[in-house]
Amino acid sequence: MSLYQRPALVHPDFGGIECFGSYWQGTLVLNDFEKPFRLIVRAKQEGPSSEQATAMSTLVTSLASIRRAATAPMTELHRESELLPDPAGMSGDRIWSYLEPEQIEVSDARYYRNGNGSIAILLIFNSTQNMDFSPAIETTDGRFRQVLSGT
């Protein structure tokens, strides 16, 4: 039996998280999605950086607009992948009933190659129509960037 206790903290933006070396892990419920996401934050043992915290705070306060911005591209992605049971009847927010929260990945400042220090946060979902399909919403510094295919 190991006596090693993983570093842990309760962070105002990330909730309760535990250190696993080069990343921190926990779970997080976002108001616009009913089920919890697994949370992975790429950070050193000191915990999430102030830039990561700012990006997550921006994401949380902008979540409704991020979801609205992602709805049409997420619907189109499913349509192109032929994963919708009734593509003609798909309108509004209905696409979200075919997705379940899976994981939030918070990058460190090295994610984007341009070197500007921006933080990517990916909201990854599982498709209820195909277990091998996990599309994501990519945000940069907490603002909507694009929807990514998850095949």
H/E stretch holding 120 reads strand 120-127
The full DSSP string for 56-87 is: HHHHHHTHHHHHHHHHHHHHHHHHHTT--SSG
Q: Please tell me the distance from the alpha carbon of residue 63 to that of residue 32, in angstroms, as a whole number.
A: 7
pLDDT at 9: 93
Query: Which range is least confidently modeled, 20-34, 47-61, 73-87, 101-115?
Result: 73-87
How far apart are alpha carbons 118 and 75 in whole angstroms? 27
Write down the pLDDT at residue 140.
Answer: 97
Count the helices and strands in the chain (H runs, E runs): 2, 8
Which residue type occupies 46?
E
* Alpha helices (runs of H) in the chain, residue ranges in sequence order: 50-61, 63-80
pLDDT band at 84 (very low <50, low <70, confident <90, very high): confident
| Termini Cα distance of the chain | 40
Helical pair 63-80 and 50-61, crossing angle rounded to 10 deg: 80
Q: Using the predicted structure, report yes or no on whether residue 61 has a pLDDT greater than 90.
A: yes
Q: Rounded to whole angstroms, how far apart are CA atoms 10 and 23?
A: 15
Over the stretch 1-39, which tens digit does the pLDDT of each residue have?
A: 556 788 999 999 999 999 999 999 999 999 888 899 999
Per-residue pLDDT, averaged over 33-61, amounts to 95
Selected residue with higher pLDDT from 85 and 132 = 132
Q: Which of 135, 145, 148 is nearest to 98 (CA)?
A: 135
- pLDDT in the model for residue 116: 85
Q: Is the pLDDT of residue 74 over 80?
A: yes
